[in-house]
């Protein structure tokens, strides 16, 4: 899934959707992943980096990723169309 | 008119009641001061001695009381002529719904003595009146919540049977309550009828996200400026106490559709509820700048300044950009003034 183009994120994990006025606070991990998504990195690429950087199994990461995408969808932060992502 | 000429202006502004249900006057003045810089004068026009703007000496150079709208146009014109003789007013920006009718009626006479305004016509004022709003929306393709005009408690019964609960009960000019049962609806009806007169309006409750749009129409069917704001903090009176500018082409298109349908002249505010299906319901259309109007200046579209320029005959290009993500957070502040100031405005009607 692709992050909406105009979503503003900051290094400290703050997320602002200028189309709705919604804002969210994320942790450092959220900030890191959002930045990668904004830079157009693929799901596979982001997961690869996370697996290298953190002690987490691929299965656990897949489950967490699904949760993450659900949260982004609920927050209306994703484009309606899918791209990539593998 | 050149920038230098603007700085010599004397502008009368109403709506100095910067309280928990604020009038737009102080925000309009703040935007003008930011746009025009030093040199021009602001004359406050007040109805009551405790309007906080009267005592904001860094905002208002002098204040005069003016007669209540119910006293009619002759009394208002007489008072404005008195003020004009002393202050040489160039413009007046009225900021209350209830006073607009009189100011619009007087606009040609005011123009004759050298005071300009930039106001909608009486027809435009009436078309968006709460009483006519549903029919206006139906005719022009807007989503408007269903409503009933209430003149008696029997009407409340009929309206709530059709609209269900919760229901929004609104005063003719101001105030609204969300009623969750019949008793609350009747209580709100009685209170609003007593305060604002008939009819009281029962409006279908729409659940969703509250958005307001401040806009400025040129009178030819176009908007010069449109700034949408999402309410972030809402008081128990339903007023935005904090909000943030947002960018959404659907909101801009809605305001343009309104300007085209009405050929609106002057400032106005669309109060919108976006429902779960993304439909934009117009809950109310206010025929003047909103109390949060300074945010338009802060976001890059100074609507009060643009209005003064348009009233001067200047042809303005439409603003195309504003900054999304600009917040306002309102606050209250205890001003301390000497009792002699209060005495002067109360007894003499001038300060």
Helices and strands, counts by H and E, chain A:
3, 3
- Please choose, from the candidates B123, B128, B130, the residue with its C-alpha nearest in 3D space to the C-alpha of residue B200: B130
- B246, A6: Cβ pair inside 8 Å? no
- Number of neighbouring beta carbons within 10 Å of residue A79: 12
- A16, B325: Cβ pair inside 8 Å? yes
User: Is B232 an 8 Å CB contact of chain A?
Assistant: yes
Find residues 11-40 of chain A whose CB sits inside 8 Å of chain B: 16, 18-21, 23
* SS3 call for A37: helix
CATH number of the domain to which B278 belongs: 3.30.470.20
Q: Average pLDDT in the B201-218 region?
A: 96
Contacts of A18 in chain B (CB under 8 A): 246-247, 324-325
ipTM: 0.75
Residue A80: inside a domain, yes or no? Answer: no
pLDDT for res A81: 58
Question: How near does any CA of chain A get to the CA of B244, in Å?
Answer: 6
Question: How near does any CA of chain B get to the CA of A5, in Å?
Answer: 12
Residue B41: inside a domain, yes or no? Answer: yes
Q: Domain end: B166, B187, B204, which one?
A: B204
Joined tokens for residue B204: 């279908």
Chosen for mutation from B231, B247, B249 (greatest number of chain A CBs closer than 10 Å) is: B247
pLDDT tier at B321, thresholds 50, 70, 90: very high
User: Is B329 an 8 Å CB contact of chain A?
Assistant: no
Residues B297 and B267 in one domain: yes
Terminal-residue alpha carbon distance, chain A = 10
Instruction: Indicate whether A39 pLDDT > 90.
Output: no
CA distance B42 to B111: 18
Q: Identify the DSSP state of B143.
A: B
A3 Cβ neighbours under 8 A, 6+ residues apart: A34, A37, A38, A72, A77, A78, A79
Tally of domains in chain A = 1
- A8, B325: Cβ pair inside 8 Å? yes
Residue A22: inside a domain, yes or no? Answer: yes
Residue B165: inside a domain, yes or no? Answer: yes
User: Is there a contact between A7 and A16 (Cβ–Cβ < 8 Å)?
Assistant: yes
Residues B317 and B338 in one domain: no
Instruction: Indicate whether B126 pLDDT > 60.
Output: yes
Residues B12 and B103 in one domain: yes
User: Is A44 an 8 Å CB contact of chain B?
Assistant: no
What is the average pLDDT value for chain B, to the nearest integer? 94
Residues B229 and B320 in one domain: yes
- B246, A20: Cβ pair inside 8 Å? yes
Instruction: Indicate whether B40 pLDDT > 70.
Output: yes
pLDDT for res B346: 93
Instruction: Indicate whether A46 pLDDT > 60.
Output: yes
Size of interface A-B (CB pairs under 8 A): 23
User: Is B34 an 8 Å CB contact of chain A?
Assistant: no
DSSP output for B295-348: HHHHTT--HHHHHHHHHTT---PPP----TT-EEE---------HHHHHHHHHT
Residue A40: inside a domain, yes or no? Answer: yes
pLDDT for res A76: 87
Residue B129: inside a domain, yes or no? Answer: no
What is the average pLDDT value for chain A, to the nearest integer? 86
Question: How near does any CA of chain A get to the CA of B158, in Å?
Answer: 36
Residues B74 and B39 in one domain: yes
- B246, A16: Cβ pair inside 8 Å? no
For the whole model, what pTM was predicted? 0.89
DSSP output for B156-210: HHHHHHHH-SSEEEE-SSS-EEEESSHHHHHHHHHHHHHHH-SPEEEEE---SEE
CATH number of the domain to which B152 belongs: 3.30.1490.20
CATH number of the domain to which B105 belongs: 3.40.50.20
Domain that holds residue A26: 8-74
Q: Average pLDDT in the B245-256 region?
A: 96
Residue A85: inside a domain, yes or no? Answer: no
Among the ranges given (A71-85, B101-115, B177-191, B323-337), the one the predictor scored with the smallest mean pLDDT:
A71-85
Domain that holds residue B239: 207-329
Instruction: Indicate whether A84 pLDDT > 80.
Output: no
pLDDT for res A83: 42
Residue A81: inside a domain, yes or no? Answer: no
DSSP output for B5-66: HHTT-EEEE-----SSS--SHHHHHHHHHHHH-SS-EEEEEESSTT-GGGG-TTT-SEEEE-
- B248, A19: Cβ pair inside 8 Å? yes
- A18, B246: Cβ pair inside 8 Å? yes
Instruction: Indicate whether B271 pLDDT > 70.
Output: yes
Q: Average pLDDT in the B99-125 region?
A: 97
Give B222-244 pLDDT, tens digit per residue.
999 999 999 999 888 778 899 99
CA distance B155 to B21: 28
Instruction: Indicate whether B125 pLDDT > 90.
Output: yes
DSSP output for B51-92: -GGGG-TTT-SEEEE---GGGHHHHHHHHHHHHHHHH---EE
Q: Average pLDDT in the A22-29 region?
A: 88
* Strand locations in B113-161 (E): 147-150
By DSSP bridging, strand B62-65 and strand B209-218 are unpaired
Residues B160 and B220 in one domain: no
Question: How near does any CA of chain B get to the CA of A55, in Å?
Answer: 37
pLDDT for res B328: 96
* SS3 call for B268: strand
Q: Average pLDDT in the B293-313 region?
A: 96
User: Is there a contact between B16 and B48 (Cβ–Cβ < 8 Å)?
Assistant: no
The position carrying tokens 């209306």 is A76
Q: Identify the DSSP state of B233.
A: E
- B247, A6: Cβ pair inside 8 Å? yes
Residues B80 and B39 in one domain: yes
Residue B126: inside a domain, yes or no? Answer: no
CA distance B83 to B66: 9
Tally of domains in chain B = 3
Residues B66 and B34 in one domain: yes
Q: Quote the percentage of chain A above a pLDDT of 90.
A: 47
- B247, A18: Cβ pair inside 8 Å? yes
- A18, B232: Cβ pair inside 8 Å? no
Residues B189 and B284 in one domain: no
Residues B179 and B227 in one domain: no
User: Is A10 an 8 Å CB contact of chain B?
Assistant: no
Q: Quote the percentage of chain B above a pLDDT of 70.
A: 99
User: Is A8 an 8 Å CB contact of chain B?
Assistant: yes
- B247, A21: Cβ pair inside 8 Å? no
pLDDT for res A86: 43
């Amino acid at each position: 899934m692709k992050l909406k183009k105009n979503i503003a994120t900051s290094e400290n994990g703050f997320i602002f959707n200028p189309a709705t006025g919604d804002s969210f606070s994320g942790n450092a991990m959220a900030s890191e992943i959002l930045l990668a998504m904004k830079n157009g990195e693929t799901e596979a690429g982001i997961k690869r980096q996370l697996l290298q950087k953190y002690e987490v199994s691929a299965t656990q990461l897949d489950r967490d990723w699904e949760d993450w995408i659900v949260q982004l969808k609920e927050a209306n932060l994703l484009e309606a169309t899918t791209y990539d992502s593998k | 008119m050149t920038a230098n000429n603007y700085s010599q202006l004397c502008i009368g502004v109403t709506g100095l009641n910067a309280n928990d249900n604020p009038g737009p006057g102080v925000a309009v003045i703040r935007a003008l001061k930011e746009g025009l810089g030093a040199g021009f004068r602001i004359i406050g026009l007040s109805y009551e001695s405790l309007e906080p703007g009267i005592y904001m000496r860094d905002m208002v150079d002098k204040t005069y009381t003016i007669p209540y709208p119910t006293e009619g146009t002759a009394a208002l014109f007489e008072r404005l002529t008195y003020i004009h003789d002393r202050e040489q007013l160039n413009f007046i920006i009225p900021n209350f719904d209830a006073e607009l009718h009189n100011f619009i009626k007087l606009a040609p006479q005011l123009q004759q003595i050298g005071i300009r305004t930039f106001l909608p016509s009486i027809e435009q004022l009436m078309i968006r009146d709460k009483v006519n709003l549903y029919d206006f929306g139906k005719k022009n393709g807007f989503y408007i919540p269903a409503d009933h005009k209430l003149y008696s408690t029997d009407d409340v019964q009929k309206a709530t049977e059709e609209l269900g609960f919760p229901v929004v009960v609104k005063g003719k000019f101001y105030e609204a309550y969300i009623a969750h049962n019949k008793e609350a609806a009747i209580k709100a009806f009685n209170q609003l009828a007593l305060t604002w007169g008939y009819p009281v309006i029962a409006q279908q409750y729409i659940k969703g996200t509250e958005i307001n749009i401040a806009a400025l129409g040129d009178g030819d069917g176009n908007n010069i400026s449109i700034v949408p704001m999402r309410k972030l903090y809402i008081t128990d009176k339903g007023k935005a106490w904090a909000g943030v500018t947002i960018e959404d082409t659907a909101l801009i298109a809605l305001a343009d559709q309104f300007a085209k349908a009405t050929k609106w002249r002057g400032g106005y505010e669309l109060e919108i509820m976006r429902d779960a299906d993304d439909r934009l319901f117009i809950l109310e259309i206010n025929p003047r700048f909103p109390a949060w109007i300074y945010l338009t200046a802060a976001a890059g579209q100074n609507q009060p300044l643009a209005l003064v320029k348009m009233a001067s005959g200047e042809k303005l290009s439409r603003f195309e950009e504003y900054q999304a993500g600009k917040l306002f957070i309102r606050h209250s502040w205890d001003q301390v003034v000497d009792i002699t100031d209060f005495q002067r405005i109360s007894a003499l009607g001038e300060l």
